[in-house]
Chain A
Amino acid sequence: MILGLNILELFAQLPGAVAQGLIWGIMAIGVYITFRILDIADLTVDGSFCTGGAVCVMLIVNGYDLFTALMVSFIVGMLTGLVTGLFHTFFGISAILAGILTQLGLWSVNLAIMGKPNQALNVNNYNLLVSLRYLQEVIKGTRPFYWSPILVVGVFVAFLIAILYWFFGTELGSSIRATGNNQNMSRALGINTKFNKVLGLMLSNGIVALSGALLSQYQGFADINMGRGAIVIGLAAVIIGEVLFARLFRNFSLRLLGVVIGAIIYYIVIQTVLWLKLNPNYLKLLSAVVVSVFLAIPHWKGKLFTARRKGGSDRA
């Protein structure tokens, strides 16, 4: 016991932090697709994360099976991305504002889906894919290890990364990467950049909604506020993953893995900060400060080394 802090208490919290980090890591992969691949900061995710959770909980409560609930969450998430994509490409609204508009609209949509701000999903009444309860029971030994959310979500993440690795290696996926890299070149090579942006936004928000669906199961409820600040957590995971593994992970699939590990680290840090008895009200402030500092680092580095690194044009 040092300063009234019990290190064992922190260790006891770690499995929960890892499980949550993994779930948010899926969300961070979605953010990576827009932020890093498409070069768009998409704020839709704050809304679509909750949409995924809301859809999943309502479907399960109404007797649909798990697979259907997850698939529909994914599809509805894609639709939210479609809306933002059309705002951006068809209406000509800037990407950030398009995301904010969708996010705002989704607040009402999410309330409409749930019928009230919070919908419980009792783990006793339904078969879930992941649950905090399962985690506790696995640790206690009353449930076999393969029910552990860490294992289940881990496998889920591995599948997701494999699929994305394949997709972004295809002709279509390559053209999406090219779109984020250099729009002028892409159009000159016959790539429909508008279509690709919409597709990328759909894919990203589908994945984000899937992550929301998993979190709502894990915590046993969907809440209208569950996605608030999701974009910042996603960015934090992306940046932590990049800063820590930039030299180690060059392959695309490893980079995605780095992002997931980034999310896990984020949640371990949060857990540690809570263990240090910081007022939880300051968590979001802390996250915002940490993310802005990490976002600033490449900029400051660039200023420090006068030899400017040349990138693709049209970064606006």
Chain B
Amino acid sequence: MLELQNVSKTFNPNTVNQKVALNGVSLTLKDGDFVTVIGGNGAGKSTMLNAVAGVFPIESGRILIDKTDVTSLPEYKRAIYISRVFQDPMMGTAASMGIDENLALALRRGKRRGLRWGITAKERAQYKELLATLDLGLEQRLTTKVGLLSGGQRQALTLLMATLKKPKLLLLDEHTAALDPKTAVKVLEMTEDIVRRNNLTTLMITHNMKDAIAHGNRLIMMYEGRIVIDIAGEDKKKLTVEKLLDLFSKVSGSDEADDKLLLS
């Protein structure tokens, strides 16, 4: 499904701020894999997701989606395959456009946008039904500007937008980190539900080890721009936070990172 072959990325090369963010990352995802990604700050989690999404060009390596080489495709063209939910709830929606208009934009992800009317009456009815499933009362506020919604509501809407047109790959970049704990739990439940129901291939970054263990069928941990732990299947089911920390200090050769991981 998704294949990263020896992907490297350095920010600010040849300057004092040089930072190797990805150091030869290779990763292969099977169809329907739900992979959680953990790691400390600066481990390269977001960089990896952004490299897949095409936010910036990579220096070396290749990225394939469904055997199609997308390495040189610009971000907006990769949207044909990929949908995303960002950490910042403000980033995934257009604030001064209505809920229905945002959904209509998402429904046309990766399609040519021409001079047909931007939103149809039939769609609106469909959006109402879908919004009702979120149980946030948004179906009553179809034309409300998204800027008037709370962070949690916006993030739930973004999640709905990301899966409105089924993507080949769903990228979630700490999409619950900016929410209050209660809302975060709810959005995570929704995520699990949507991913399972549509059998979406998913990469989900999280700061929360418990969440990373509880969700998905595979877990990877990143450290200094590399994937250092990769656990799937039965091993993953038996995983605990203690075991994971233990594993991590063995791999990284230090335990100072424990605190960093736990605290962050």
**A-B contacts at CB below 8 angstroms, number:** 106
Residues of A within 8 A of B114 (CB): 170-172
Report yes or no: A185 in contact with B92, Cβ–Cβ below 8 A.
yes
- Docked CA distance A191–B118 (Å): 14
Chain B nearest Cβ from A254, distance in angstroms = 15
Q: Mark B214-245, 1 if CB is under 8 A from A, else 0.
A: 00000000000000000000000000000000
Stretch at the interface among B18-26, B97-105, B132-140, B201-209: B97-105
**Cα A212 to Cα B117 with chains together (Å):** 31
Binding stretch for chain B, among A4-12, A113-121, A173-181: A173-181
- Residues 75-113 of B contacting A (Cβ, < 8 Å): 75-77, 79-80, 82-84, 86, 88, 90-97, 101, 104-106, 108-111, 113
Closest A-chain residue to B162, C-beta based?
Answer: A188
Majority SS at the chain B contact face: loop
Q: A170-B116, A170-B118, A175-B105 are in contact. Are A182 and B76 (CB under 8 A)?
A: no
Which residues of B (162-188) have their CB < 8 Å from a CB of A? none
A193 interface residue (CB < 8 Å to B): yes
By the criterion CB–CB under 8 Å, are A190 and B91 in contact?
no
**Interface-forming stretch among A22-30, A55-63, A230-238, A305-313?**
A305-313
Residues of B within 8 A of A184 (CB): 86, 91
How many of chain A's residues touch chain B, expressed as a range?
A: 20 to 34
Contacts of A189 in B (CB 8 A): 79, 83, 105-106, 108-109, 161
- B119 close to chain A: CB less than 8 A: yes
CA–CA, A184 and B79, complex, Å: 12
Q: Is B118's CB under 8 angstroms from A174's CB?
A: yes
Q: Is the CB of A193 within 8 A of B105?
A: no
Q: What is the CA–CA distance of A172 and B104 in the complex, to the nearest angstrom?
A: 12
Q: Cβ of B147: which chain A residues have Cβ within 8 Å of it?
A: 309-312
* Cβ B92 vs Cβ A175 within 8 A: no
**Does any Cβ of A come within 8 Å of B263's Cβ?**
no
Q: Complex formed: what's the CA distance from A280 to B75 in Å?
A: 52
Which A residues touch B79, using CB under 8 A? 187-191
Contact call A181/B115, Cβ cutoff below 8 A: no
Chain A residues within 8 Å of B95, by CB: 181-182, 310-312
**Which residues of chain A are within 8 angstroms of B104 by Cβ–Cβ distance?**
174
Give Cα A193 to B93, complex, Å.
15
Q: Is the CB of B115 within 8 A of A311?
A: no
Is B53 in contact with chain A by the CB < 8 A criterion?
yes
Shortest distance from the beta carbon of A192 to any chain B beta carbon, whole Å: 5
Contact of A311 among B76, B83, B92, B96 (CB under 8 A): B96
Bound form: Cα–Cα A186–B79 in Å: 10
Bound form: Cα–Cα A188–B96 in Å: 18
Give Cα distance in the complex from A178 to B32, angstroms.
31
Residues of A within 8 A of B115 (CB): 167, 170-172
Q: Tell yes or no: A169 within 8 A of B by CB.
A: yes
Within 8 A of B (CB), among A269-301: none
Report if A174-B90 is in contact (Cβ < 8 Å); known contacts: A187-B75, A188-B83, A189-B105: no
Question: Considering the chains assembled together, what is the distance between the CA atoms of A13 and B121 in angstroms?
Answer: 49
In the complex the two chains form, is B101's CB within 8 Å of A174's CB? yes
With A189-B106, A193-B76 already in contact, the answer to whether A311 and B90 are too (CB < 8 A) is: yes
Q: Are B94 and A312 in contact (CB under 8 A)?
A: yes
How far is it, in angstroms, between the C-alpha of A312 and the C-alpha of B154 when the chains are bound? 11
Contact A178 B97 (CB under 8 A): yes
Residues of B within 8 A of A172 (CB): 113-115
Q: Closest Cβ of chain B: how far from A147's Cβ, in Å?
A: 35
**Beyond A311-B90, A311-B147, is A174–B119 a contact (Cβ under 8 Å)?**
yes
User: What are 6 A-B pairs at a CB distance below 8 A?
Assistant: A175-B105, A181-B96, A184-B91, A188-B53, A188-B84, A189-B79
Chain A residues within 8 Å of B, Cβ to Cβ: 167, 169-175, 177-178, 181-182, 184-193, 309-314
4 closest A-B pairs by CB: A190-B79, A174-B118, A181-B94, A171-B113
